[in-house]
A and B are shown apart, each in its own frame.
Chain A
Amino acid sequence: MAKDALLDFDKALEIFEPVIGLEVHIELSTKTKMFSSAPNIFGDDPNTAITPVCLGLPGSLPVVNKEAVRYSISLGLALGCEIAETCRFARKNYFYPDLAKNYQISQYDEPIAFDGELEVELDNGDIITVPIERAHMEEDAGKLTHVGGSTGRIQGAEYSLVDYNRAGVPLVEIVTRPIFGTEHRAGEVARAYVSTIRDIVRALGISEARMERGNLRCDANVSLRLRGAEKLGTRTETKNVNSLRSIERAIRYEIQRQAAILEKGGIITQETRHWHEDTGTTSPGRPKSDADDYRYFPEPDLLPIRTTRETVEELRALLPEPPAAQRRRLKAEWGFTDLDFQAIVNAGLLVEVRETIEAGAQPQAARKWWMGEVSRTANERGVEPSTLVTPEQVADLQSVIDEGIVNDKLAREVLVGLMAGEGSAREIIEARGLAVVSDDTALIAAIDDALLSQPDVLEKIREGKVQAAGAVIGAVMKAMGGKADAARVRELVIERAAAV
C-alpha cells in the first residue's frame, strides 16, 4: 500500500480548519441481549450464547430488553439529552454475513434520546462543550474471522467464520453534531470526549466500557475546510480506533493526510477508513456516500416504546455525580495537588485509582502504583493499564506492603505476578517465595556477621553515629536476598551494635 502524503500538522492548521464529529458505540452490560433471552457475555465458545432470534431463524421474533431501555434512558440523561416520550425501532437493511437477518434493528428518525451536550475537560483544565445530536439503541452484529489471506480482512480470505455470540448485544450509539473550533486540540478533544463518556457509563454501571474488548468503540469523522470558508469539507470516517490514544493519533493523522491532498488541489473521497494501530496510519475502507441506501422503515415486529415522565424522573434521580463535579470532590478528599490529580485524569486512570482507594488502599499508594509501575508496564506493552490488573488487585498488593509481608521492592515482583495472572498477592508471595524474613533469629545472625566483619562501622554506631548503620543494613539485605524489612533491620542493627 502506498504511503499517504502528510502535511506538517501546524502547517495544515494554518491553512485549514478541522471539523470533527464522533460516533461512539457502547455495548450495554445487560444480562441478556437487546432482543432475545440469550446471555450477553464476552468470550464464550463461538455460537453458544445464541437463540433462534440471534441467528435470525425463520419465524423468530425480537422482544425488547426493558433493562437495555432503562440503561439507554439513563445514559441519555447523563448526556443532557431530552428523552423521547415515544420512540420507535427501525430496520436498517443491508446484506452482510455477520448480520443474521440482513437487517439491523436500530433507531432511525425516532431515537430514544436527542439534543444533549457534554462538558469535557482537557489536559490543561479547559472545559469544552460537545453538542450531542442523539443517542439511539440498536443491536450489535456478529463477529467475522477471515481465514487465509495475509490481511485478515475479507478480501483475499479463503473462507470466513461467523460467531453470532455478539449478534444482538445491546448497543447505544451516541452521535455528536459537528464540533467546531477544536483547532490544534481536535484530537485531544476527541480523546477527552470518549474518556468522559467512558467515565459516565462506568459510573452508571451500564457497560464495562473496555475499548480493547470493543465494549466502547469510536468512529471519528474528520473534515477540513479552508480558513474563512463556510461550507464544510468532505469528511472521512475512521473506524477501528480501539484506544483513547489512537483516537487522538487517528484524528491528527487524518488532518495531516487530508491537508496534504487538499493543499495540492486534490479532493477528499467520502469513505470509511481503517485505523492501523501498528503503523499509526489509516487506509481506505468502503466508499461511503450520503446516498447509501439502507431502506430504513419502522420495525413492524416491535411496538413503539413509550417512556413515562415518572420513569424519566426516577432514572434522573439515580444519576451519579457528573464527572467534573466528582473530580473536584475527589481531589479534595484525597488531598492531592492539582498536578498529581490532573496527571491521573490525563492518564485516564481516575476510575482505577478511585476504585483502588475504595478497595482499601491509601490515596497516595493507589496513585503511586497506577501512575508508576502499572503505567510503565502498560506503556512498554502498548496496552491500557486497566487491562493489566484490577483495582482490587492493586489494593491487595498495597495491603501486603502495609502488613509488612513484603517490602516495596518485593512488591514490584508481586505486581509482575499479578499482571501475569498468577493468583492473589498472597498466593504469588507464597509461590515465588517473596515474603520478607520476619524471623528475627535469622536476621540477627546476619546482622551479627555483618557488624563483626566491619568493626570500624560497629565502632561508629556505638559512638552514636546511627547513619553509619546504612552500610550494615545494605550488607544484611544482600545476605537476605532482599527479603527483609529494611526498617526492622535498622532497628535490630542498632540493638545488636550494643550487644555484640
Chain B
Amino acid sequence: MADLIHMSAAELSSALAAREVSSVEVTTAHLAQIDAIDGNLGAFLHVNANALAVAEEVDAARAAGEPLHALAGVPVAVKDVLCTLDMPSTAGSKILEGWIPPYDATPVRKLREARMILLGKTNMDEFAMGSSTEHSAYGITRNPWDGDRIPGGSGGGSAAAVGAYEAPLALGSDTGGSIRQPASVTGTVGVKPTYGGVSRYGAIALASSLDQIGPVSRTVLDSALLHDVIGGYDHHDSTSIPTPWASFTDAARRGAASGSLAGVRVGVIKELDSEGFQPGVRAQFHATLEMLAAHGAEIVEVSAPNFDYAVSAYYLILPAEASSNLAKFDSVRFGLRVTPEGTPTVESVMSATREAGFGDEVKRRIILGTYALSAGYYDAYYGSAQKVRTLIQRDFAAAFDQADVLVSPTAPTTAWKLGEKLDDPLAMWLSDITTIPANLAGIPGMSIPMGLAAEDNLPTGLQIMAPAHADARLYEIGATIEALLDAQRGAPFHTLNPHFSAGGNR
C-alpha cells in the first residue's frame, strides 16, 4: 500500500472499508506529518487532541459491523473561520483568541455525523481578509512548493495542509476566491459551491452575501466526496437552497470515466484572459485549452464587459457588509477585552478592544465599508456596486447561453514571495480579479491544477465555472479535464511537488 499520507480520500475510504488499514493508522500518519513539518509550514493553528480517540471509536464501530459513511475515519482539516465545539475558533484574529464556541458550524456538524476525523483548525488571513494568509494574527503559512512563497489566501492554511499531505481534505471559505486562489498557487483542488449550497451557519461571517463554504483536496473526486457531506439545506441559514442536490461524487466518477469532452462548449472569458497575467500562467492556460479542444471540447470566446468593474464593486460590497458583521466584536459578550487606563466607559473599552484586537487589513476594510454605507454616500457606493453586481450576473447569464462551462486562469500569477505585496493592498486586491465575479454572481467555481509555469516551476490553476445550481456539471467536467491532464503528464499533478518523495516540505 502507498504511503498513507499520499493517498487520496477516495483511496483511504476504500482501504478503510476493506479494513486494509485502520482509521487510527491513517490519523496517526497525518498527525505525524503535522508534527514533522507544521512547525515550519504553519498550516495549523490548533491540532485536535481528540482526533485519535475519535479514530478509535470509528475503528471499533467498523469492527462491530455498524453501517458507516464512506468517509468515516478519513481525516479532514477545518479552516478556523468555522465554529467548532471542542477547539478554539478565532478566524485568524487576536480579538477571538482562545474563543471556544458553544456550537458547531453546520458543515462541521455534518463532518462529525459522517464520523470523519477532525485534525484541527487551519490558518487564514484575519476574518478571511487577504490573499496570502500573511494577515493572520498568528503568523504566516508557507507554500508547500516553495517555503519562501505565500500559500494564497485567505485559506492558505487549508490549501497548504492538503498540499503538504498533512490532511487529504480540508474545509475552506470563499468570499472572493479564498478557496480557489490558494488551490491554484498550491497545486490543489478547491471548490466554491453555488451560493446557498452549503450552510453558512457557524461560519464567522466576512461578507454574508458572498461567503460560501467549500471543499479543498488534491483531486476532483475527493472534493466531490466532501461536498456531498457538507452540502444541502439547513434551516439555520435562510440563504441556503432548499432543493436537493444530485450526488457530486457520482458526477465526478462519471466525468473521470468519460475521457472525452465531445459536445462540451467551453467558454473562454475574454476579459479574464488578460495580457497582464503572468506569461507562464497564460501559456499553461492556452496549452490546456488546446488539449481540451483536442479531446472534443468546443472552445468559444465569450465576453463579460462588466467584469472590468467587478473588483471595484466587490471592494465596496465586501467592506460594507464586513463593517456591519464585525461590529459584534466589542468585548461585551466574548473575545478579547482591553480596558484603557483612567475611568473607562463602555465606548472606550469597545474602542480600545477593537484597536488592539483587529489587524491593519481588517481596520482598513471596516473604515472603507463604514464610509461606503454612510448617509449621502450609500447610493454612489453601495448602491452602485449592487447595480454592477446585477450587470455581472447578466454577463454570466449571456455567457452561459453560449457555453456549458466558463474557464479562466484561477489566478493571474503563481505564488508570490512572502512579504512582496504586503505593503501594497491594492496589488493584493487585484490578485482576486479572476475569482471575484463568481462570488458576485453566486455561481459555483472550481480550481484544478493545470501545470507548472515555465518561469518559476510553480503551480498554475484552471478555474471552471458553471451556472448556479450546476455544481454537478463542474465536478463532471472538472474530473474529465483532470483525468486528461493526469494522463498527459503520466502522473497526478501533486507528485510534481519537489518535496513529494520527501514526504513534505523543508
Contacts and interface: CB of A to CB of B under 8 A. Distances in A.
Given A57-B102, A59-B205, A97 B346 contact: yes
B204 A59 contact: yes
A386 interface: no
Given A58-B101, A162-B332, A293-B375, A93 B327 contact: yes
Which interface residue of A154, A293, A300, A303 has the most chain B CB atoms within 10 A?
A300
Interface string A225-253: 00000000000000000000000000000
Nearest to A98: B332
B239 A303 contact: yes
Contacts, number: 102
Interface in A158-183: 160, 162
B190 to A, nearest CB: 21
Nearest to A302: B238
Contacts of A63: 235-238
Nearest to B373: A295
Interface stretch (A100-108, A205-213, A324-332, A346-354): A100-108
Contacts of B48: none
Contacts of A311: none
Contact of A102 (B202, B330, B374): B330
B209 interface: yes
B378 to A, nearest CB: 7
A459 B327 CA distance: 92
Given A58-B101, A59-B82, A103 B324 contact: yes
A301 B320 contact: no
A91 B333 CA distance: 20
Given A95-B347, A101-B327, A293-B375, A301 B333 contact: no
B106 to A, nearest CB: 9
Interface in B433-454: none
A474 interface: no
Given A59-B83, A293-B374, A300-B321, A103 B333 contact: no
Given A97-B330, A102-B330, A297-B320, A59 B202 contact: yes
Interface residues of B, number: 44
Contact of A58 (B96, B207, B323): B96
B87 to A, nearest CB: 14
B111 interface: no
Contacts of B382: 297
Interface string A285-329: 000000101011100111100000000000000000000000000
Contact of A59 (B101, B209, B329, B330): B101
B373 A61 contact: no
B203 interface: yes
A492 interface: no
B328 A56 contact: yes
Given A95-B330, A297-B382, A300-B209, A60 B201 contact: yes
A297 B381 CA distance: 12
Which interface residue of A59, A91, A93, A291 has the most chain B CB atoms within 10 A?
A59
B211 to A, nearest CB: 9
A93 B378 CA distance: 14
A305 to B, nearest CB: 10
Interface in B393-414: none
Contacts of B373: 93, 295-297
Contacts of A101: 327-328
Interface in A46-74: 52, 55-64
A162 B373 CA distance: 29
Interface string A75-89: 000000000000000
A255 B236 CA distance: 49
B320 A103 contact: no
B333 A56 contact: yes
Contact of B346 (A100, A103, A160, A293): A160
B208 interface: yes
A302 to B, nearest CB: 5
B33 interface: no
B194 to A, nearest CB: 15
A235 B82 CA distance: 48
A103 B205 CA distance: 14
Interface string A365-394: 000000000000000000000000000000
Given A57-B101, A59-B204, A93 B324 contact: yes
B227 interface: no
Given A293-B374, A295-B374, A59 B105 contact: yes
A56 B96 CA distance: 14
B343 to A, nearest CB: 11
Interface string B162-206: 000000000000000000000000000000000000001111110
Interface in B35-89: 82-83, 89
Given A59-B105, A63-B235, A297-B378, 10 more contacts: A52-B102, A52-B103, A58-B91, A58-B99, A93-B373, A95-B327, A160-B346, A295-B324, A296-B378, A303-B239
Closest 5 CB pairs between A and B?
A: A102-B327, A295-B373, A300-B208, A300-B209, A59-B202
Interface of A: 52, 55-64, 91, 93, 95, 97, 100-103, 154, 160, 162, 291, 293, 295-297, 300-303
